[in-house]
Amino acid sequence: MPSPYSALFAAPGSKGFSAAGFLGRMPLSMMGIGVVTMISQLTGRYGLAGALTATMALAAAALGPQVSRMVDRYGQRRVLRPVTLFALAASAGLLCAARFAWPDWVLFVCSAGIGCVPSMGAMVRARWAALYRDTPQLHTAYSFESVVDEVCFIVGPILSIGLSTVWFPEAGPLLAACFLAAGVFWLTAQRATEPVPHPREQHGRGSAMGSAGLQVLVATFVATGAIFGAVDVVTVAFAEEQGHKGAASVVLALYAAGSCLAGAVFGLLHFKGAPEGRWLLGICAMAVSMIPLLLVGNLPFLAVALFVAGLSIAPTMITTMSLIEQHVPRAKLTEGMTWVSTGLAVGVALGSSVAGWVIDAAGAKAGYGVPAVSGAVAVAVGFLGYRRLKRPVPRREGTHEHHSEREERHVA
C-alpha cells in the first residue's frame, strides 16, 4: 500500500477500529440482496422480497440519523451495543418468519426493526476525524474508507447470494448478522479511539439538518442515490435481455471497482483551496458519465462504460465528507455523516422503483434514462445550493474542544 495509507495506521488503535468497521459495514451490501435471494427461494414472491428490502431502507432512513444523534450525545459504546442487539433480534425474527412461513406482517415488522442498524461507516469516519482533524491525513483516511466501502459492495453481494443459493436460503442474511455483531462489539470494545460524546445540554437541541450546507448535500445525494439504485436494477434487466443474467454481477463489480481505484488514487493527492468546486465538479462528472449508458448495445460496452462511470464516485464521496466537517458542528458530526447516507438510501429506493416501472413499460435499454435524469437533477441541486456550501459553520469551540477531549481521554 502506498506510504500515505501506511502512515495512517501509525496512530495507536487505528488498525483495530478500521478492521472492526470493515466487518460491521458488510451487512450494508449483504442484507438487502440476501433477503431478496432468501424470500425468492423460499416463496417465489419477488414482489414481497422487494417490499421487504424497501421497508428496511425506509426504516434505516428514519432511524439511522436518530441512532447517530444519540451516539454524538452519549458515545458509541453506550448506544451501539443495545441498538445492535435489537437489530440482531429483528434479523433472527425475519429468518424464522421466512423459514416457518409466518404471516407477512411479521416479516414487515422484523424488516423495519433491522432498519435501526447503525451506520458503521459514519462511526469509523468519526474516529478518524478525532485522530486527524484539521490535518492532511484526514483526507487520506476518508479516501481509504471510501475504498473499503467499495470493497464491501464488491465482495458482500457475492458472498450473500452465493451462500444463500449454494448452502441454504437463510445463509446470506445470517452471515450478514454475524458480521454486524462481530464488527460492532469489536469496535465498541476499543475505548481509546472512541470520540468523546457531547451531551445535549452542552451543544443545543437542534438536529444537524439545521445546517443549510448539509441540506444541500443530502438533497443532492438523494438524486445521486437514485443513480445507483437505477443502474443496479437496469443492469440486471439488460443482462437478462442479452441472455447472460449472471454477467450482471461482474458488470456491477466493475462499476464498484472503478470507484475503488479512483478513491485509492484520490487519497494520494492533496489539494489546496476550498473543496466546494471539486465537489460540484464530481457531481457533474457523475451526471455526464451516465450519458454513454443511453447508447449501450452489448454487455462489453456496458462494462467499460460503467467502469469509467465509477471513477467519479469515490472522489465525490470523499469530498462530501470533507464538506460535512465544515458545515456540521463537531458535536453532531456522526449524525451529519449519517444524514448523507440516509439521502443515498432514500435515493436508491426511489431510483430502483422508478427504473423498474420504466423497464416494465419500455424495456431495459430505456431504463438507463432514469440514472441520466437523476444525474441532471443532482447537478441542478448542486448548482442551486452552491452558495450555501461556501458558508461553513464557524469553529468556535476549536482549541477548547481539542483540550477537553485530551483531558477526558486522560481521565478515562
pLDDT digits (tens, 9 = 90+) for 1-29: 446 777 778 888 888 989 999 999 888 87
Alpha-carbon distance 85 to 119, whole Å?
Answer: 15
pLDDT band at residue 397 using 50, 70 and 90 as cut-offs: very low
**What tens digit of pLDDT does each residue of 216-241 get?**
888 998 999 889 878 877 887 788 78
The residue that leads in pLDDT, 368 or 348, is 368
Domain extents in the chain: 14-198, 206-394
What single string gives the DSSP state of each residue in 284-330? HHHHHTTGGGGG--SHHHHHHHHHHHHTTHHHHHHHHHHHHHHHS-G
Alpha-carbon distance 103 to 89, whole Å?
Answer: 18
What single string gives the DSSP state of each residue in 172-220? HHHHHHHHHHHHHHHHHT--TTSPPP--HHHH-S--GGG-HHHHHHHHH
Q: Supply the pLDDT for residue 409.
A: 35
**Mean pLDDT across the stretch 62-66?**
83
What integer best gives the mean pLDDT of the chain? 81
Polymer length of the chain: 412
Claim: this prediction has a pTM higher than 0.85: no
Q: Supply the pLDDT for residue 307.
A: 93
CATH of domain 206-394: 1.20.1250.20
Q: Supply the pLDDT for residue 129.
A: 84
> What is the helix (H) or strand (E) element at residue 9, kind and residue range?
none
Assign a CATH topology to domain 14-198. Answer: Growth Hormone; Chain: A; (1.20.1250)
Residue 371 has pLDDT above 80, yes or no: yes
pLDDT band at residue 200 using 50, 70 and 90 as cut-offs: low
Q: Supply the pLDDT for residue 407.
A: 33
Residue 304 has pLDDT above 90, yes or no: yes
CATH topology match: 14-198 vs 206-394 = yes
127 close to 195: Cβ distance less than 8 angstroms: yes
Burial letters for 239-268: b for 16+ Cβ neighbours within 10 Å, e otherwise? beebeeeebbbebbbbbbbbbbbbbbebbe
Give the three cell numbers for residue 283. Answer: 457531481
